[in-house]
Structure 1
Amino acid sequence: MDDLRWPKEAFIHPEGENKEEVRQLAESIMDKVLDYASSVTEYPPLPKESDFEIPSISGEGVSNRELIHQIQELIDCSMNPNHPRYIGHMDSIPTFVSCLGELVSTFLNNNMLSLEMSPFLSRLEVHVLEVIGQMFGYNEQAGGVMVSGGTLANLEALAVARNQAFSVMENGLTEIKGKPVIFASDVCHASIQKACMLLGLGTSAVISVKTNDHSKLDVHDLELQIERAYDQGKRPFAIVATAGTTVTGNIDPIFDISQLADKYQLWLHVDAAYGGALVFSDLERHRLKGIAQADSITFNPQKWMYIAKTCAMVLFKDRQVLEGDFRISAPYMNEVAFTNLGEINVQGTRHADIVKLWLSLQYIGLNGYQQLIDQGYRFTKIFTEEVRKRSFLVLQAEPETNICCFRGEPAYLPKEKWDDWNRELQQQLLDASHTFVSLPLYRGERWLRAVLLNPFTSRSQIQDIFKQVDIFYDHYLESK
């Protein structure tokens, strides 16, 4: 390798010949990262306009100094979800140990495709998911896999449901008589439609069920839609319930839905990407009543468990159904009694996300996670009380998680101006106090959404946010 020209630190020498040079580069980069992470309040939640131009890919490679400079530019131009006033989305500040876990798994570089390529980590993933499955109420027959996000988790769950319902794993959909359909609320995540598109069913296969004033699926309308689908010659095969809707964070009545799923012999999938974390709270677990009846569950620890992205999973009540209706064997792998995870996963080659999840669970502990979730509820209550104190603000729904969705409806403006008022308030909060709330379009109107997820968001910061709201309300007409 003496005649090859690349940076001395491009790889770590297997016998440590460049250990000190690698250490110096690593320390320089870690200093930049730690300086940023420990001073995030000095950065705005949203990046400012930058004149930084993405450089062309170097022919000869850049120096260490230039590399570090580009890393700093990357930091400066990036979203800052670690800021305590970044409360607009389900993006959490990651636990430090999950960041270190990401570093460890990257260096190990095991491939979760098979036991041969990840002998310990494959078994670790199976073990941890069995434990989490039991927290949802599953027994020892349950199992699952980790995937890169909730979209893939929902896709795999519905693929298994489809394959089991119609026995199409081998021959496909062409011989099915009647259109296969599923049922989900009119505020379900967009990944449900995307899954049906990818599964060859088309987005029209998702029959939309009404939600009530609290953004929860209407069980009466669900049964009407099921009966109507049968009457029209369609082939219902699954119901999707949501535990933690994207905009309002509300939770569908899972137990009541499970009763209908059982009555009509339909697969029940619960998209608990966000709300699944409630199983870690003794006080709030009851909100997921009935989830143990689900045939499959999506859960994303990258959200309310503060694990660095990506970290998601899909769990199945009966692992044998997953293996029987989804497994594609990899003949190039050694045959062992252990099922290679890549054979029962929509992904093949896969990063070992289990490391950062496992280390965070070990380091923070179940009690620590319970405290984090319960704190989110306390601050959501404080935030919601501030909304209720103001006659010009209204709640979209009663919060069931740590999400408060609200908007201004000032009497001094006509109704058609309210969306603009809320849009300008969002910008004012960002400009005046570095507070970022999102502005989703929900049921034809613009709403402000606050996600009380960051453990460093404080009561005083919430009170300051509403002082800014009051100032904006009082002086809005003067500024026009």
Structure 2
Amino acid sequence: MLDSQIKNCFIAPDNQNREQVEIIFDNIIKQILNYLCNADNFPPYPPLKIFAASDFSIPEAGFSLSQIQNNLALLFQHSMNPSSSKYIGHMDSISNIYAILGEMIAAAINNNMLSLEMSPFLTQLEYALIREFCDLFGLPRTSGGVITSGGSLANLQALVVARNETLKLNNGNLTNLRQTPVILCSEIAHASVAKAAMLIGIGSENVIKITVNSNFQMDVLDLKQKVMEYFTTEYIPIAIVATAGTTVTGSIDNLSEIAAIAKEHNIWLHIDAIYGGALVFGGERRHLLNGIEFADSISFNPQKWLYVAKTSSMVLFRNFSSMVSNFRITAPYMKEQEDFINLGEITIQGSHNAEILKLWLSLLAIGKDGYHQLIEYGYVLTNICLTEIKHCDYLQLVMEPQTNICCFKIKLTNYEDDFINSKLHDYLLQNGFFVSLPRFQGQLCLRMVLLNPFSSKNVIKSCFSLIDKFYNQHHVKGN
């Protein structure tokens, strides 16, 4: 016979242990809410504690609920805290309530997105929502796509399909190529592009970097030159990768001009809209994505500006049937379907979680108008930041933001720039604010990502008051 403690780790299908299950749920959910509802009382980024491996050892006998809660208390204490209104450093948004519940419900029903048979409702839901996002991005009715676990997988699948379509290699065999395939992208494109090139047999050294202009957008003239340079008997471009929302500055490439170049030379155009794709809900700001409708593939992450818990990503294709023919590997152990292709046959992952559920619930709860409001609020906070930066003659703005990301540097005559910006970053962290410190164009800068709906004008002004205090302290020391 199984020990009752073991059986009570599961929910009995005949209702026999409901009381014990409710006690567990009640205690754990209260603990989660006590943390999240008081997130401003915890540091946005706690000091790093190095644990011993023995702290994570597997017990011989299962822990009691109170012991498990003690371990969860450690988790909360030592975790990044994007729910804090003073966490303004990365593209890690606070999760909306329905995304959190969606993650829990997906785990509870434990359907497998491998096939229609194993996820009859959720497979249809994914196909339907992907259709809606294709429409939002302006893709034709021939389009379609899949949900992926993160943007790197979305970019990877897009470039696999681009390679196979361009080189007529639906089996992925590169051994008989006479030309070296190359990918063209901005010099500040996401690292996942180079990683994908390595994984698909092209090699990261064959990712050709295009220079950027003063707004850190891909330089279209340099792109034209590089396209001509690499259209030879030795090389063949398999894709141009444009970016709608670069990681550090949030810059959006001139998508229409890049699309025209791709069309002229018959090169696959992939647009990494992992961040900026949320602007499809941006109302009057939707024009920033003009040209995205000409893409052959688009990657987008709702886990960022749509406030869906990680991971939530998708890759869309202009020609869905072409993607299927260039990517599908049939699985004989899955029941054949007439109405829907089993998702496990057309994604990199086979068995995978129902990540579509938390996205669906988020969309139902917030709606298009709600997302428009959230995006506009991010721009309100961004403008407050810009005003503060421009009022300080010792701060240098890296670029006028196109999205809700502000990058700037402090400059003091008697200090080396990297040193003083690193000191300022640490000072803000010690005083309860987290901004990130990326190295960009060879120098450290401070980066604010204005995502949190509970960040406010007062929060932003308090942060800049600390920056001013830091400046006054070090300006006096420097002199």
Deviation of the 1:62 alpha carbon: 1.0
Matches of 1:229 and 1:245, distance apart in 2: 25
Deviation of the 1:50 alpha carbon: 4.5
Superposition map of 1:203-214 within 5 A: 203-214=204-215
Matches of 2:75 and 2:472, distance apart in 1: 39
Which of 346, 349, 357 lines up with 1:347 in the alignment? 349
Superposition map of 1:411-450 within 5 A: 412-413=413-414, 417-432=416-431, 434-450=432-448
Deviation of the 1:396 alpha carbon: 1.1
**1:397 matches 2:399:** yes
Aligned 8 A contact 2:144 2:316 in 1: yes
Residue number in structure 2 paired with 1:276: 277
Matches of 2:178 and 2:234, distance apart in 1: 9
For the residue of structure 1 that corresponds to 2:175, the secondary structure is coil
Q: Deviations over 1:384-415 (max 9, x none)?
A: 111111111111111000000111122x325x
Residue number in structure 1 paired with 2:188: 187
Residue number in structure 2 paired with 1:374: 376
Superposition map of 1:244-263 within 5 A: 244-263=245-264
Deviation of the 1:55 alpha carbon: 3.4
Superposition map of 1:31-70 within 5 A: 31-50=30-49, 53=52, 54-70=55-71
Task: Label 1:3 to 1:211 Cα distance change in 2 as closer, same or farther (>3 A).
Answer: closer
Residue number in structure 2 paired with 1:108: 109
Question: Which residue identity is paired with 1:468?
Answer: L
**1:468 matches 2:466:** yes
Matches of 1:43 and 1:376, distance apart in 2: 23
Matches of 2:116 and 2:2, distance apart in 1: 37
Deviation of the 1:3 alpha carbon: 4.1
Matches of 1:19 and 1:331, distance apart in 2: 39
For the residue of structure 2 that corresponds to 1:7, the secondary structure is helix
Deviation of the 1:61 alpha carbon: 1.1
Aligned 8 A contact 2:385 2:460 in 1: yes
Q: Deviations over 1:189-242 (max 9, x none)?
A: 000000000001100121000001110000000010111112472111210000
Residue number in structure 2 paired with 1:454: 452
Residue number in structure 2 paired with 1:387: 389
Residue number in structure 1 paired with 2:123: 122
Structure 2 residues without counterparts, runs of 5 or longer: none
Residue number in structure 2 paired with 1:224: 225
Task: Label 1:83 to 1:443 Cα distance change in 2 as closer, same or farther (>3 A).
Answer: same
For the residue of structure 1 that corresponds to 2:284, the secondary structure is coil
Question: Which residue identity is paired with 2:241?
Answer: V
Matches of 2:34 and 2:126, distance apart in 1: 33
Matches of 1:49 and 1:378, distance apart in 2: 33
Deviation of the 1:431 alpha carbon: 1.2
TM-score (norm 2): 0.97
Deviation of the 1:315 alpha carbon: 0.5
Residue number in structure 2 paired with 1:408: 410
Matches of 2:2 and 2:334, distance apart in 1: 36
For the residue of structure 1 that corresponds to 2:403, the secondary structure is coil
Aligned 8 A contact 1:52 1:73 in 2: no
Deviation of the 1:65 alpha carbon: 1.1
For the residue of structure 2 that corresponds to 1:284, the secondary structure is helix
Deviation of the 1:375 alpha carbon: 0.7
Aligned 8 A contact 2:170 2:325 in 1: no
TM-score (norm 1): 0.97
Matches of 1:429 and 1:55, distance apart in 2: 32
For the residue of structure 1 that corresponds to 2:34, the secondary structure is helix
Deviation of the 1:322 alpha carbon: 0.9
Matches of 2:56 and 2:325, distance apart in 1: 49
For the residue of structure 1 that corresponds to 2:316, the secondary structure is strand
Matches of 1:56 and 1:334, distance apart in 2: 40
Matches of 1:51 and 1:321, distance apart in 2: 49
Residue number in structure 1 paired with 2:265: 264
Question: Which residue identity is paired with 2:27?
Answer: S
Matches of 1:34 and 1:405, distance apart in 2: 33
Task: Label 1:383 to 1:14 Cα distance change in 2 as closer, same or farther (>3 A).
Answer: same
After superposing on structure 2, the runs of 4+ consecutive aligned residues of structure 1 that deviate more than 6 Å are none
Aligned 8 A contact 2:428 2:467 in 1: yes
Matches of 1:76 and 1:248, distance apart in 2: 30
Aligned 8 A contact 1:283 1:374 in 2: no
Question: Which residue identity is paired with 2:71?
Answer: Q
For the residue of structure 2 that corresponds to 1:180, the secondary structure is strand
Q: Deviations over 1:231-277 (max 9, x none)?
A: 47211121000000000000000000000000000000000000000
Residue number in structure 2 paired with 1:365: 367
Deviation of the 1:7 alpha carbon: 3.0
For the residue of structure 2 that corresponds to 1:144, the secondary structure is strand
For the residue of structure 2 that corresponds to 1:153, the secondary structure is helix
Deviation of the 1:440 alpha carbon: 0.4
Aligned 8 A contact 2:243 2:271 in 1: yes
For the residue of structure 2 that corresponds to 1:240, the secondary structure is strand
Deviation of the 1:48 alpha carbon: 2.9
For the residue of structure 1 that corresponds to 2:118, the secondary structure is coil
Aligned 8 A contact 2:164 2:172 in 1: no
Residue number in structure 1 paired with 2:315: 314
